[in-house]
Structure 1
Amino acid sequence: MIKKALVVIDIQNDITKNYKEIIANINKSIDWAIEKNIHVVYIRHENLSSGTRTFKPDTCGAELASDLKIVSKNIFTKYKGNALTSEEFSNFINKNEICHFYITGADAVACVKSTCYNLRKANYDVSVLTDCITSYDKRKIDEMLRYYESKGCKLIGLNDLLNS
């Protein structure tokens, strides 16, 4: 297995806004990762705050979306925006000596942003798949792409990835 991972962040039933526009691309990136023998990792968010309406533990809304291609048992739960706060995910990275991450996900201005920032802060190589991320406010995606780049992330489109 190559020391790389494709990370799918928060493609869950409670992410109803805009993810349908990128799910086909995410599934294609998963096929690419399998073909290249790259780990595929799924990150789930759960809200533990009382009064929360989304991502409640043990609810349908917290489950991975049914149209997301699931190809591994590498499914980790986080309770904060940054995926590295999941001890199980951090352990998986260390055990498999992963050094490069390809990022896809549902909220470019929240969990995707926090995860990219913290992966770069830890000196990992990070590539953001530009047409495999979305946000509740899609007008902010270009701003987020500039932010990712300013933090040292590489931006790559799905077609360029598939042809690499």
Structure 2
Amino acid sequence: MKNSALVVIDLQNDITKNYMEIIARVNQAIDWAVAGGMHVVYIQNHNLSAGTRTFKPGTHGAELVPEMKIASDHIFTKTKSNALTRRPLKKSVKEFANTI
């Protein structure tokens, strides 16, 4: 599945209090993707708004949850609701497509 990727979005300390209910399934999906030769991409939300209390860059809340398996260094941040607006992610998607 070289032309496929698993994208994990916003699984960060501030996103939910109940992520422990799903983390085992997320990790299973990551293992499945790696075993299938897929790229694994992680997206983090960074809230740059003045006075923000969540997803503040450099805080524990903005970090990916510690129980999640990190299978690649393809970790991208977004500051808007659409991760595809970020140039580094667009560039990586194009690079992945060229490896097919």
TM-score by length of 1: 0.57
* Aligned position for 2:75: 75
> Is 1:55 matched with 2:55?
yes
Deviation at 1:81, TM superposition (A): 1.1
1:10-159 alignment to 2 at 5 Å? 10-97=10-97
Distance 1:89 1:5 in 2: 12
Deviation at 1:16, TM superposition (A): 2.8
Distance 2:39 2:23 in 1: 18
Aligned length, in residue pairs: 98
Structure 2: which amino acid aligns with 1:21? Answer: E
Deviations 1:121-162 (A, max 9, x none): xxxxxxxxxxxxxxxxxxxxxxxxxxxxxxxxxxxxxxxxxx
Deviations 1:66-120 (A, max 9, x none): 001111000000001111012111110011118xxxxxxxxxxxxxxxxxxxxxx
Distance 2:64 2:86 in 1: 17
Distance 1:61 1:43 in 2: 14
Deviation at 1:15, TM superposition (A): 1.7
**Cα RMSD (Å):** 1.3
Alignment partner of 1:72: what SS?
A: coil
Structure 2: which amino acid aligns with 1:53? Answer: R
Deviation at 1:24, TM superposition (A): 0.7
Structure of greater relative contact order (alpha carbons < 8 Å, 6+ residues apart) = 2
Distance 2:81 2:19 in 1: 17
The runs of at least 4 aligned residues of structure 1 exceeding 2 Å deviation read none
Comparing both structures, which one devotes a greater share of its residues to strand?
1
What are structure 2's unaligned runs of at least 5 residues?
A: none
Deviation at 1:17, TM superposition (A): 2.7
